[in-house]
Structure 1
Amino acid sequence: MTQYLDFEKPLAEIEGKAEELRALARANEEMDVADEAAALDAKAATLLADLYKDLSPWRKCQVARHPERPHCRDYINALFTEYTPLAGDRNFADDLAVMGGLARFNDTPVMVIGHEKGSDTKSRIDHNFGMARPEGYRKAVRLMQMAGRFGLPVITLVDTAGAYPGKGAEERGQSEAIARSTETCLQIPVPLISVIIGEGGSGGAVAFATADRVAMLEHSIYSVISPEGCASILWKDAEKMREAAEALRLTAKDLKTLGICDRIIDEPKGGAHRDKTAAMASVSKAIAEMLKDLEKKKGDVLVKERRQKYLKLGSKGLAA
């Protein structure tokens, strides 16, 4: 059953009526509701297009966080073959908020790493809602360094509200682990591609997304802080999250303009959760094109260009 967002309530009513008609027809084979159901479907399709034609930043936040949106595990299962998960940071523990391992993408050996939020109550708790602890970032560092040694391109899938801010995480060096992961991104002499598939929150996202190419799904977000957190700090009122979302310029379109995002990946109408197959096909195509663009560059050139890219960040924003 589809979960509807607040602004989709009119759509829910129309699609609900169409489904009721079909349920009645299944219960009574003599009923012919095809025309009425088709008319409601057409009305719903028009309304869906109107709703998603020009989403506000806050509505994009809602879509990026949709519980049915495909997560890291879904992309790995759909886009990669021979996936072999690698666990642990060889220091403290294995963090289930971060998953990664060796795989093949279009028959090319790669290292894939990503945040996993989980898809139901149990898995969300197990994966800590995609909020990694220090051992998660240290695991990512280990896998990126391994990829660097063996000449494997690294693909990261970012989907986190931010790094876990708990007492234990701070005691084990959360900020140092995030910084070390960001540093490793800048140092590995292999192609590094990052795709923001949902939320890209704070340093927890930057630690995976300091890449040669950063792509964002159309309705994903990427920001130094959540709109709610920003509103709480600036206005002492989390309910001003809509104003904060506007001010943060966290949409793919804004970040492409600022030069932080290199590519926007189109989503199916209504968001990636409405047609996961089509969304994953678009992501696969984008990754393939970005890999092809980087595969012939030597390691020292990749590292140099990557460092220059991040040293220059902000120049477009200042010019604007």
Structure 2
Amino acid sequence: MVLEFEKPIADLENKLREMKELAKGKNIDLSADIHSLEEKIQSLKKETFQTLTRWQRVQLSRHADRPYALDYIYEITNDFIELHGDRNVADDKAMIGGLGDIDGRTVMFVGQQKGRNTKQRQERNFGMANPEGYRKALRLMKMAEKFNKPIVTLIDTPGAFPGLEAEERGQGEAIARNLREMFKLKVPVICVIIGEGASGGALGIAIGDRVFMLENTWYSVISPESCSSILWRSWDYKEQAAEALKLTAADMFNNKLIDGIIEEPLGGAHKDMKLMASRIKESIKVALAELDKLKPEKRIEKRIEKFCAMGVVNE
């Protein structure tokens, strides 16, 4: 999959591939030309990805090859045991969770999971959790608290599922309960937005002592398309909506709504998943080392203070 703004880079990479095949097939020395083209490609990549618009970052966050929650979990942990069900209604496959080992320390992971192909996307409901998904997430977080295990949430959702059945089963109540209970968790909570972070669907597992965003992700009360359809009665203004929403990681950090940005490999997280996973892992370890120094009561106090300070303006 090549995004519109990536096409000039893809064209040069195709030329580079053809040049290498020609040099190999005809036994011609094209090393100087190949080196020159490689430098040109690298320069164009840096120029392109350092000047992305907000809408382009939204597109990159949805890239078909982008790693999902389980990809990172299996890469970060030495082993992972997935846990299922909310012990009430069902096992929501859009919300995943379980225990994993990070360099000898057991961590409870919770996250939204999308699918790679049509069948998986239907099974995972495109990463849009039902109430039972949020109740499963809360059950696992309470279990982590009981056994004194830190919690890491990986957020990637276009929003909570807005279907009639979800509303009948208490979608709003389930998310609201998660917000309340996550503020009171006695164990360290680290939240990482790895893709899309839309509305209450994202916020339902995003109340943490540390909230990080990957470089090419977004976090907002509404998607650019939905904002465009409300304000302009059309999706055609999604780029303007993205600019107005100021939803990128840099915007969120500047507005003090997140605690840090995790840099992605040049071209996006999908270009080097192992490197991206190692950076996420290191950020988690550093944050846990800081949070371990605080008593549970102090962590809760600082967590509440952080979120209560958001949006406050002194004139």
Query: 2:297: which partner in 1?
Result: 300
Alignment of 1:247-262 (within 5 A): 247-262=244-259
Quote the residue 1:14 is aligned against. 12
**In 1: Cα distance, 2:287 partner to 2:167 partner:** 36
Give the 3 Å change call, closer, same or farther, for CA 182–49 of structure 1 in structure 2.
same
5 Å-filtered alignment, 1:67-82, equals: 67-82=64-79
TM-aligned CA deviation for residue 239 of structure 1: 1.0
Pairing of 1:165-180 with structure 2 (within 5 A): 165-180=162-177
**Contiguous gaps of at least 5 residues in structure 2:** none
* Counterpart Cα distance in 1 of 2:219 and 2:150: 23
Question: Are 2:94 and 1:97 aligned?
Answer: yes
The question of 1:127 aligning with 2:127 is answered: no
Matched, 1:142 2:139: yes
Identical positions, percent = 45
Partner of 2:45: 48
CA distance in 2 between counterparts of 1:197 and 1:299 reads 27
Give the CA RMSD over aligned residues.
Answer: 1.5
Q: Which moved more, 1:44-53 or 1:177-186?
A: 177-186
What whole-Å deviation, never above 9, does each CA across 1:117-150 have from its counterpart, x for those lacking one? 1223322222111111111101001001111111
Partners of 1:309 and 1:265 in 2: how far apart?
A: 20
Q: Is the 8 A contact 1:191 1:302 kept in 2?
A: yes
Task: Determine if the alignment matches structure 1 residue 4 to structure 2 residue 8.
Answer: no
Number of residue pairs aligned between Structure 1 and Structure 2: 315
Query: Structure 1: 5+ residue runs without aligned partners?
Result: none
CA deviation string 1:252-288 (max 9, x = no partner): 1111111111011111111111121221111111111
The alpha-carbon deviation at position 22 of structure 1 amounts to 3.0
> How do 1:106-125 residues align onto structure 2 when only pairs under 5 Å count?
106-125=103-122
TM-score by length of 2: 0.96
1:231 and 2:228 matched? yes
Q: Is the Cα–Cα contact under 8 Å of residues 144 and 184 in structure 1 kept in the other structure? A: no
Match of 2:192 among 191, 195, 210: 195
How many Å separate the matches in 1 of 2:18 and 2:168?
54
Distance 1:179 1:199 in 2: 20
For 1:215 and 1:75, the matched residues in 2 are separated by 15
Runs of 4+ in 1 over 4 A off after TM superposition: none
Assess if the C-alpha contact under 8 Å between 1:132 and 1:163 holds in 2: yes
1:14–1:294 Cα change, 3 Å: same
Deviation at 1:67, TM superposition (A): 1.2
Shift of 1:35: 3.5
Alpha-carbon shift at residue 9 of structure 1 (Å) = 1.0
Change over 3 Å in CA distance of 1:167–1:32 after alignment to 2? farther
Distance 1:319 1:238, change over 3 A: farther
- 1:269 paired residue number: 266
User: Are 2:224 and 1:212 aligned?
Assistant: no
Structure 1 letter corresponding to 2:231 = L
